[in-house]
Structure 1
Amino acid sequence: MSVVTVDPMKSSTTSPIPLSTFPLDQWYVVAFSWELKEKPLARTLLGHSVVLFRPTEGKVAALEDRCCQCQCIEIPGQTKIPGKARVAAFTVRERDQIVWIWFAREPDVEPTAEPPVYDVHSSGLYLFEGDTCHYDAPYQLIHDNLLDLSHLGYVHLHTIGGDAKTHMHAKMTVESEGDTVRVVRHMLDSTPPPTYVAAYPFTCRVDRWQEVEFHVNHLRIWTGALDAGTEPLDAKDRGGFHMRGFHGVTPETESSSHYFWTIATNPKSNPEAVKQKVVEQTRLTFDEDKVVIEAQYRNMCRFPNREMIDIHVDVGANRARRILDRLRSPGNYLHNAWRKRSSTAIQYRNNRKRLS
């Protein structure tokens, strides 16, 4: 897989708009619904200390993790309370058991859209479970790992991988549009990996698919298999064994990340037992990824000036990195500001026409 060292981005003394370390004006995953119970939950996200909690009405709220009150209401020994004795509040949304937080480039900028829908959690077609994981590595390395599933053949021999030659020679297509990248890999007439065999009654060899969809704030991975030669792999309603993964990758700092994952599956029999088997093996898979990615980053820090060399499986990851670089750039900020000013000017002109 290809890796690129990301240095802290500093603003020039002549530039009024600094290059952002992370893409802003974006929703990011901050928690799962089941994590927020009686006690507040503290996390650092994009360098910001945030505390989450559920008020009595049940909706999730988020504040800067600096004080016990959103606005100070009492100071012992004095009656006057300074107007600045308050902490910042963040915009949060909860849908499909995922809690999202909005990070804007400028203060008090409202979200331009609602957070993504992920109806795999709510459709009733799948059983799912998930967890969170902390990485001592930059978030881009997690993206790289998820967009290059050829590593399954080498890293995950006892779960969803093995058969490295088949993985490296899979038929692969890569498409990109706007801020998304889609990688599709097909492995026909292949040996089913251990997790698949344990979860589904395949007769012998299988046709496997891997579909990865990159978004700036999360990835969706749909993998699975059919008995070889029984159905086309591009059918939307294909049968067989399915694993649908949600991967919320949120930077903590420039060199650490939060990884929010769920795995959904469609057991043919013994649904709870099969679901637990899939979840356990998925957890083991991600533990293996964490070891590799953190070791990779430590090695990058030891050799910070070494040039990285791409191979054919790095196409999707490289496109995702270009999207992130574009969204972090001052040019993207200026373009969006220009569009906003243009829209305001058009609206003003139309209003003048209606009044005249």
Structure 2
Amino acid sequence: MSVQMHIPGVSDLTDETKSPFPLNQWYVAALSKELTDQPVGRTLLSQAVVLFRDGDGRVHALEDRCCHRALPLSSGTLEDAGIRCGYHGMLYNGGGQCIDIPGQDIIPPRAKVKSYQVKEVDGFIWMWFGLDQDAEPLFEPPNYAVHSSGKYLYDGDVYHYEAPYQLIHDNLLDLSHLGYVHLRTIGGDAKTHMNADMRVTGEGECVRVVRHMRDSLPPPTYTAAYPFKDRIDRWQEIEFLPTHLKIWTGAVDANSEDLNDPERGGFHMRGFHGVTPETETTSHYFWTIATNPQSDPEATLQKVVEQTALTFEEDKVVIEDQYQNMLKFGHAPMISIHVDAGANRARRIIEKLRSTAG
């Protein structure tokens, strides 16, 4: 079966009646830890924005352009009241209004820039992108209790991809590739991954993929982080939503616990994956990984984070090479196999949301 896939960058496949991205959604704009004493400039859904904290620690997002001579505000400096342009010193508050012009008492009412709705929740900065850019958000941004429950230690980072966001979705929804791409880290036997017991379900804008690999050998990352006795029963639970994915992976000693028990023990890795388009052909990938160390917590967390980063670097090479080849071969059809069930469902959801936003 071939797959008809929208390929950004191949002009005659672009439908101008649709938005390139799902709208009326909260997207991850930054990790909380990124916003310290410097502004962060970033393009999100093809819009250039600057993110910063004011003197009270509150997060704001503005159009990254001074209304005077168009220098990026992200080139400026932060003050308690807002962000000051690095060209002529105009100071903007969190709402985008200019509140100070050095050497000039009167501030023109039009001296302002666009502001965006942002909220900070559980270590993430979320930004609302609506069909009506001036309307209030329709719902609150997601919570992520894994970060705030106290049950796990976590850390993360941000990657930039020279590839469209949906290719990252595809990769995360199909973990059968682990046995081929990630041999040094979270992989394991390729045959075991390709023959995992897999269940794909969905409701509304959500897709769930559950994979079980019983009586398998633990991969290097697992043995480095947890004292398994020998063979393991391993799980992968993936939850897709249009702007982010949550992936719970881990293992217990073989035949020791029920893999369907939500309170099962063993080794856990809970990954958050905020996939935010930069443009139609480039993406930001905000990720965190949380784990439950049994001993030496900080050292174990560091191992897990380092191993996770290595796997994502391996994925990045594959996805960017994949996209370049898609551009090279243009309309060449791609077939689906059994491991694509989750990714294909997600693509149908994105296509529907793009049509709604058009």
> Normalization by structure 2: what TM-score?
0.87
Cα root mean square deviation, aligned: 1.8
Q: CA deviation at 1:57?
A: 1.6
1:33-71: CA deviation from partner (whole Å, max 9, x where unpaired): 111000100100000000001011211000000114323
For residue 26 of structure 2, what is the aligned residue in structure 1? 27
1:85-138: CA deviation from partner (whole Å, max 9, x where unpaired): 321000000010111000111131111111000010010000111000000000
1:219 aligns with 2:245: yes
For residue 54 of structure 2, what is the aligned residue in structure 1? 55
Task: Provide closer, same or farther for how the CA distance between residues 76 and 206 of structure 1 changes in structure 2, counting only shifts above 3 A.
Answer: closer
For residue 6 of structure 1, what is the aligned residue in structure 2? 7
Three-state SS of the structure 2 residue aligned to 1:108 is coil
Equivalences for residues 31-46 of structure 1 within 5 A: 31-46=30-45
Q: Distance in 2 between matches of 1:2 and 1:311?
A: 10
Q: Distance in 2 between matches of 1:262 and 1:77?
A: 46
1:293-339: CA deviation from partner (whole Å, max 9, x where unpaired): 0000000010111011100000000000100110111xx359xxxxx
Task: Provide closer, same or farther for how the CA distance between residues 333 and 46 of structure 1 changes in structure 2, counting only shifts above 3 A.
Answer: closer
Q: Distance in 2 between matches of 1:191 and 1:3?
A: 37
Q: CA deviation at 1:82?
A: 4.7
For residue 117 of structure 1, what is the aligned residue in structure 2? 143
CA contact (8 A) 2:212 2:234 kept: yes
% same residue: 65
CA contact (8 A) 1:26 1:217 kept: yes
For residue 152 of structure 2, what is the aligned residue in structure 1? 126
CA contact (8 A) 2:206 2:240 kept: yes
1:317 aligns with 2:317: no
CA contact (8 A) 1:5 1:300 kept: no
Equivalences for residues 155-304 of structure 1 within 5 A: 155-304=181-330
CA contact (8 A) 1:244 1:265 kept: yes
Q: CA deviation at 1:78?
A: 7.4
CA contact (8 A) 1:41 1:51 kept: yes
Task: Provide closer, same or farther for how the CA distance between residues 78 and 203 of structure 1 changes in structure 2, counting only shifts above 3 A.
Answer: closer
Equivalences for residues 140-159 of structure 1 within 5 A: 140-159=166-185
CA contact (8 A) 2:27 2:243 kept: yes
Three-state SS of the structure 2 residue aligned to 1:121 is helix
Unaligned runs of at least 5 residues, structure 2: 67-84, 86-91
Q: Distance in 2 between matches of 1:74 and 1:61?
A: 18
Task: Provide closer, same or farther for how the CA distance between residues 39 and 186 of structure 1 changes in structure 2, counting only shifts above 3 A.
Answer: same
Aligned-partner residue type, residue 159 of structure 2? C
1:203-255: CA deviation from partner (whole Å, max 9, x where unpaired): 11000000000011100000000100011100010010000000000000000
Q: Distance in 1 between matches of 2:276 and 2:257?
A: 37
Q: Distance in 1 between matches of 2:333 and 2:259?
A: 38
Three-state SS of the structure 2 residue aligned to 1:111 is coil
Aligned-partner residue type, residue 238 of structure 2? V
Task: Provide closer, same or farther for how the CA distance between residues 38 and 77 of structure 1 changes in structure 2, counting only shifts above 3 A.
Answer: closer
Three-state SS of the structure 1 residue aligned to 2:265 is coil
Q: Distance in 2 between matches of 1:94 and 1:71?
A: 22
Q: Distance in 1 between matches of 2:104 and 2:40?
A: 31
1:105 aligns with 2:131: yes
Task: Provide closer, same or farther for how the CA distance between residues 308 and 76 of structure 1 changes in structure 2, counting only shifts above 3 A.
Answer: same
Q: Distance in 2 between matches of 1:2 and 1:145?
A: 16
Q: CA deviation at 1:3?
A: 8.4
For residue 89 of structure 1, what is the aligned residue in structure 2? 115
- The answer to which structure has the higher strand fraction is 2
Aligned-partner residue type, residue 161 of structure 2? Y
Task: Provide closer, same or farther for how the CA distance between residues 236 and 2 of structure 1 changes in structure 2, counting only shifts above 3 A.
Answer: farther
Task: Provide closer, same or farther for how the CA distance between residues 41 and 279 of structure 1 changes in structure 2, counting only shifts above 3 A.
Answer: same
Unaligned runs of at least 5 residues, structure 1: 12-17, 335-356
Three-state SS of the structure 2 residue aligned to 1:158 is coil
Q: CA deviation at 1:83?
A: 3.8
